[in-house]
Structure 1
């Protein structure tokens, strides 16, 4: 295995001086002929960006074919000239991500100084590649209505794509499944660099690190099948987004969108219409810093949401909180089993488990003693004060009193959901020489939120997706393209993204358990472990602070990729590689304050089990059925991912393409121990690329994951 590793790394770094990635760029190709159909060789080809005046050059080969790759997306004009022929002009035409634009031109006999403009439009059907994809351009993003203006929603327009299942952790981030794969198996790229949230529980509720606003994106392409070997990692879709660039013209927008409750219908459960205020605003600007040389694009978007939620719960009545459960006793439903005093028992009756006795007359072999009798000899279903646990009484009193009378609920609340978001991007494109251009991009997003619990005060009652949270995301991309000759182009990319997400339960900084007198709940200032244990009941809503909080997670992903394009005769060869170290820090104890379950066991009818009892009554008598508590610990781990690919397009007859990709996933490492698994370490460590016609996935015993895939297209 060590020899194989050395060979792998040698191959990776030997090619690093001339490796490619046309991940967020395009290709322009064509064929030059005369009016008789004969090919014209050595024709001069120039492709000019109409916004920046950057020019790409090429010459046609002996068979009249020419190819320019990679070409940054944008709007271009084509000029073709040859001795003895009029110059031919075509365009403007727009290139999109991963597009291969074929432009075949016929030159007329005449002087080079004369020109002929070709106005035929290019065919809309993609015939040069076999991939299945959907392009979402800037106009589509701006004009279609989007909830929250999140462009990822538009991925659902792609064939084979459906939304994530209800309740999925990426639901708020508009997660989606492609071709039946899990939403966590999609691969998000921004300007050609990794943009994936690798943290397993998605505290940020999305599969990506940052997502620029629709006014900051030039376009994105969702590729779902047969995509290029340049793409690794995913077995689902590849979401390939590109930010806007500045140009020689000053342009920008200012906007604000407002939503409120004025035109909203009242929820069925609401007693009054809850308030709702949402403001989304921002601005963009693109301009030249140095004409034809340096261009700037910057944007900002803010979001402010204040929305009343509608929560329905079943809470104890004032009588139940004091131990009076007479309302649940059904004197019309005799169980047919007598208690230890020989009296009839009924559905909903409570018993003092401490007085349970053996009884030969009982079908279970046991009989029970109720907490008391009424004057007519029937059970009172009232727990005597002497039998009520003091802590149980305090905990029951934390519930709010009923304020509604619905089917399955008696309490309605409208706590406010608060979300604030500030995000922005800055991109600088620079033309160094006629053979070198480079861009730098910095993106950031900060999104604090307060997701309310059903109950106010110390009762809480929320779940994992409640509490006070903050999502901070940062992304950096640098890409340099060097044209050695029109047939030899190299592109190197550096990328970094950081995702810091946290969520804390309400009262995380307060020793609530100590104040109430709940023993055994660990609390130390600075650990954010304040709150109550989470308590579950069979007959009323959950009480206390949720499990898996506090959560604090950090991800750092570094990426270096290099790609080389070599055009030789009819072959368009691309080969390249990537190194991607990944770091993770996860602080998320499962039950740091503990959990307790209160069922009917200890207040049920021993002679007719399942006919009586109450979880709340069990709380009042201080008899939990079970519980658990976990230590507070932090997990730090890291891994390295390596990838190599080779592909060759041969435009002879039907398009043919040969593609090969290999990926190597280093084991997950922890400072004190090693994670070991005979396969992918998590759902993100998927297979090779696209839908391989042939693939091999192996796991070594040390353990590391090696992935190899091969594709042939005709």
Structure 2
């Protein structure tokens, strides 16, 4: 599916200025008059960067106005001079990203030989654009408290923005979800140094998921400023209808400057949550340490500059879903459960401890007389059929209807003596049938390695080359493999996962001043987002006699009793591999773009285009692990196919089950004949092409009326699979030819 759309913006602005900036630059405009208020044409206006010494000049037109377009954000010294008038110099004028500052001056009659009049620092106003938004300076970003030093936490400061509240107890980078003016939180565009950095497969939120990464987040000490535009932006912006978030990273200057920092929190500084206090639980481990620094300066004064930064983050979190869980343990007594060999069928194949464990388990969970363990629904199957038999009653099965695979699963043991499936150790004749809720807290460990290197080269007075590179790597070790870190699951300890998300972001930009009224900016950019998820469960299906859902993928299947998420987890337990983990995703994004700004009379015209090519290769090799789910513990203990798989004589029933559970349905929830389907692990090769172009004309009719006219075209290509793995069949065409 391809989408092509045009839109035209006609904005009438009663201000004496124009919109001549891009997502990575600003602009300066104004009108020069004499002491009587008459406009002065031909005044040379020169803006000199206070950081790098780079200068840009323009002459006022017949209407006395001047425009300096595509200026890098920063502070400028501005000089006004013309024969017959005293020269005027303004020592510091701030140019913000995406904004056009207005600086009007009145000149006094005199000679250029007279001393330059230096005025105090002035505040400019942004009246050149109808775009709504908020600028955050470097001081704002570094001085406001941010729980994870993530600038997206500040996006809620803008009017019209609806942002989630950042929970400091969460693990990871803590990117904020934001929605503006009724748009969704997946409809935003994030730009860094003028280039879109949205991960195409992250749904534009910037938030990381199991198999979806975000983008590199510069640390606050590396940010010069950023702006969030919420509405009414010009034709130079597109892609998504939500917010435009424009981040400008710092550059080197003619003086060396640097900083070092460390931020931390630990158990001594933290308070416990109300609910944990109420339950008598101790404070979980919730430690965070962030340290690093930034340094920049000249390699060659007025010519070549550098800026580098690095931030290291370490978190240990026993409160997040990755580091805490709750599960309902069955009434298994403490002690040795013995060993039975893989594929065993008779109790005599087990060691002596195993031969004692099997009848003890049956006695603890059998609902039949005289055991009568009916105090908990987990002891009866969810769909009828056979039940676990009581060893001291009428037992017709040597294993009391217990499945050997279930027994082997309960016997899986770690080197330290712990069992994969913990028992409650509670008397089965006691409350709740001996089933007991257990809480676990094993801190998840998150690290973030974040580095940046920026270089700016003033080739000559006409050409400037800027290079940007950022690298971020986020390894996470999680004892509990939940799908959502916001919610604790019911996986028991011993089923960890590891994820490693990396981000590479690079940019090369050439700005050329071809004349005083003609500026060109061309850029090439590349982002690479590799993700690797590993299942670290130490047990396998072959150890317990489970047939792998796909040959060669021998992780222990993700077995769930009850539900692995939602309200159902309160009565359940999960173990083994989590099927959403175990895989790789590598995304490449290539960008090429160009913008031209041309000032001619009363018109300031910008024309630009951009082409984006995305290559994405996911390989979810963990999906064949599957997620066999049993409604109750008794369903796991029985673990048989339904009557549809019956191979005996007579009619399948609870009294004549044969090789089944004697019920219509399988013991596995949703299973047919005791089987379960598995996901695909095909290494897809997704390919996407996006194109856009625009024309923006800011037409100044007079000193009080400016028309902002914009036209934009976008081609948003649909994802295609290069190998044909993802395709549809046109049945009407198939029927027109012989079928093989």
TM-score, length of structure 1 as denominator length: 0.77
Among 247, 260, 263, the alignment partner of 1:241 is: 247
1:160: how far off?
A: 2.2
Give the direction of change, closer, same or farther, for the CA distance of 1:618–1:634 in structure 2 (3 Å limit).
farther
User: Structure 1: which 5+ residue stretches go unaligned?
Assistant: 6-19, 330-338, 357-367, 605-616, 678-714
1:503: how far off?
A: 1.4
Distance in 2, Cα, partners of 1:536 & 1:633: 29
Indicate yes or no: 2:421 matched with 1:386: no
Among 706, 712, 719, the alignment partner of 1:655 is: 706
1:211 maps to what in 2? 217
Distance in 1, Cα, partners of 2:585 & 2:133: 33
Distance in 2, Cα, partners of 1:32 & 1:120: 18
1:482 maps to what in 2? 512
* SS of equivalent to 1:224: strand
RMSD over equivalenced CA pairs, Å: 4.1
Which of 667-676 and 490-499 deviates more?
667-676
2:182 maps to what in 1? 180
Indicate yes or no: 2:466 matched with 1:439: yes
2:349 maps to what in 1? none
Distance in 2, Cα, partners of 1:100 & 1:489: 16
Give CA-to-partner distance per residue, 1:25-55, whole Å, 9 cap, x none: 0010010100111111101111111111111
Give CA-to-partner distance per residue, 1:431-480, whole Å, 9 cap, x none: 1111111111111111111022189xxx99279x9720111111111111
1:493 maps to what in 2? 523
Indicate yes or no: 2:609 matched with 1:577: yes
Give the direction of change, closer, same or farther, for the CA distance of 1:656–1:413 in structure 2 (3 Å limit).
same
Distance in 2, Cα, partners of 1:35 & 1:353: 92
1:121 maps to what in 2? 122
Give the direction of change, closer, same or farther, for the CA distance of 1:118–1:208 in structure 2 (3 Å limit).
farther
User: Structure 2: which 5+ residue stretches go unaligned?
Assistant: 5-19, 335-357, 412-419, 483-488, 564-570, 640-660, 729-740
Among 428, 444, 448, the alignment partner of 2:455 is: 428
1:391: how far off?
A: 0.9
Is the CA contact 1:521–1:594 (under 8 Å) kept in the aligned structure 2? Answer: yes
Distance in 1, Cα, partners of 2:435 & 2:38: 82
* SS of equivalent to 1:264: coil
Superposition map of 1:25-104 within 5 A: 25-104=25-104
Superposition map of 1:216-227 within 5 A: 216-227=222-233
Indicate yes or no: 2:318 matched with 1:318: no
Distance in 1, Cα, partners of 2:306 & 2:210: 29
Give CA-to-partner distance per residue, 1:150-209, whole Å, 9 cap, x none: 111111111222235999999942222222333222111111112111224844798742
Is the CA contact 2:558–2:627 (under 8 Å) kept in the aligned structure 1? Answer: yes
Give CA-to-partner distance per residue, 1:120-171, whole Å, 9 cap, x none: 73354x3211111111111011100001111111111112222359999999
Is the CA contact 1:482–1:491 (under 8 Å) kept in the aligned structure 2? Answer: yes
Give the direction of change, closer, same or farther, for the CA distance of 1:204–1:645 in structure 2 (3 Å limit).
farther
1:116: how far off?
A: 2.5
- Number of aligned residue pairs: give it: 615
Among 518, 522, 533, the alignment partner of 2:558 is: 533
2:682 maps to what in 1? 633
2:546 maps to what in 1? 518
Distance in 1, Cα, partners of 2:395 & 2:231: 65
Distance in 2, Cα, partners of 1:395 & 1:436: 69
Is the CA contact 1:102–1:122 (under 8 Å) kept in the aligned structure 2? Answer: no
Give the direction of change, closer, same or farther, for the CA distance of 1:120–1:164 in structure 2 (3 Å limit).
closer
2:283 maps to what in 1? 273
Is the CA contact 2:331–2:435 (under 8 Å) kept in the aligned structure 1? Answer: no
1:399 maps to what in 2? 421
2:438 maps to what in 1? 411
Indicate yes or no: 2:243 matched with 1:255: no
Distance in 1, Cα, partners of 2:441 & 2:280: 8
2:195 maps to what in 1? 193
1:420: how far off?
A: 1.5
1:675: how far off?
A: 6.1
Give CA-to-partner distance per residue, 1:555-581, whole Å, 9 cap, x none: 111111100001011111101101111
* SS of equivalent to 2:684: strand
Is the CA contact 2:290–2:311 (under 8 Å) kept in the aligned structure 1? Answer: yes
Which of 197-206 and 54-63 deviates more?
197-206
Is the CA contact 1:668–1:674 (under 8 Å) kept in the aligned structure 2? Answer: no
Distance in 1, Cα, partners of 2:145 & 2:397: 58
Among 575, 579, 590, the alignment partner of 1:543 is: 575
Is the CA contact 1:668–1:676 (under 8 Å) kept in the aligned structure 2? Answer: no
1:290 maps to what in 2? 300
Distance in 2, Cα, partners of 1:514 & 1:47: 73
Distance in 1, Cα, partners of 2:95 & 2:149: 24
Give the direction of change, closer, same or farther, for the CA distance of 1:180–1:382 in structure 2 (3 Å limit).
farther
Is the CA contact 2:517–2:600 (under 8 Å) kept in the aligned structure 1? Answer: yes
1:393: how far off?
A: 1.9
Distance in 1, Cα, partners of 2:306 & 2:514: 26
